[in-house]
Amino acid sequence: MVLGRVHYAFCVILVIQTLLYCDGQFVQKNYETMPAVPFPTCRADDIDCLRRSLRTFFFLMDAGHFGMQPVDPAIVNSVSLALPEEQTTFALRRVNVTGARWTKLVERRFNLEGGKTGVVFLSDLHLTGQISMEIAGRPEPHNAYITMDIQGAESNITYMGNIQRGLDNEDYIVIGPERIAIRNRRIPTYFLQPNTEDSYIIDEAIQKKQSILDHFSNEITAAIMHSVVDNFRLFSMKVPIRHYYKYYK
């Protein structure tokens, strides 16, 4: 039974009012009503309002509100890259990532292929972790510690969603699976520690093939953005739409 339609045929979650398209059916579902969130409701075409709300949402996320998991700082356990032509494998481990809370909203996108909608974010991230380089035929890997700055990582996130009505007679947003594509506007910068032969060998290999940095940047940024979307998904299932988004029933 269709009970409502989102203003302009879409809904945006929280500040991700920012993050959701809906034109679906309402179903009965049991949710516990949550208190209002501390920012004004936004229209989906009010980009300035959405940007302010996004800033507040990231602080709510990092404070663990509504059961959300903090993303700044965040730990990415491992990222690897195999280069068969060089018979070499690189890996980052225990990567500590900061800066996600300052992610900026660039634009909202609607009427995409398959009825999806999307959002584009821009992030500057700082990370530290262990880096290793394994070479075929060498028994031990080269190891070092890396510090990397990712500037201008653009995350293009697309998704679908539905509005569901809870037994409390409130409307909630349900976010479907997301697809995330990352594009680096700049090549990441980095330095290695300590000043050892291992660091020198790893640095020389990276300088010869800087796509290694691009790969690590993409994978780490995508991991952070998936966590952000998971938090949006949790938030939207617990907080009624009317607390963060303007729409017509």
For residue range 83-128, list pLDDT tens digits in order: 999 999 999 999 999 999 999 999 988 778 887 888 999 999 999 9
Q: What is the DSSP letter of 65?
A: G
Rounded percentage of the chain residues whose pLDDT exceeds 70:
84
Q: What is the pTM of this model?
A: 0.82
Closest residue by Cα to residue 34 from 230, 245, 241: 241
Residue-level pLDDT, tens digit, the chain, 249 residues: 333 333 333 343 434 444 444 333 344 444 454 555 677 788 877 899 999 989 889 988 988 988 999 999 999 999 999 999 999 999 999 999 999 999 999 998 877 888 788 899 999 999 999 999 999 999 999 999 999 999 999 999 999 877 889 888 999 988 999 999 999 999 999 999 999 999 999 999 999 998 999 999 999 999 999 999 999 999 989 888 888 888 655
Q: What domains can be seen in the chain, in order of their start residue?
A: 7-243 (3.15.10.30)
Q: Give burial (CB, 10 Å; 0-12/13-18/19+) of 84.
A: exposed
Q: What are the pLDDT digits (tens) for 217-237?
A: 999 999 999 999 999 999 989
Measured CA to CA, the distance from residue 20 to residue 13 in angstroms comes to 5
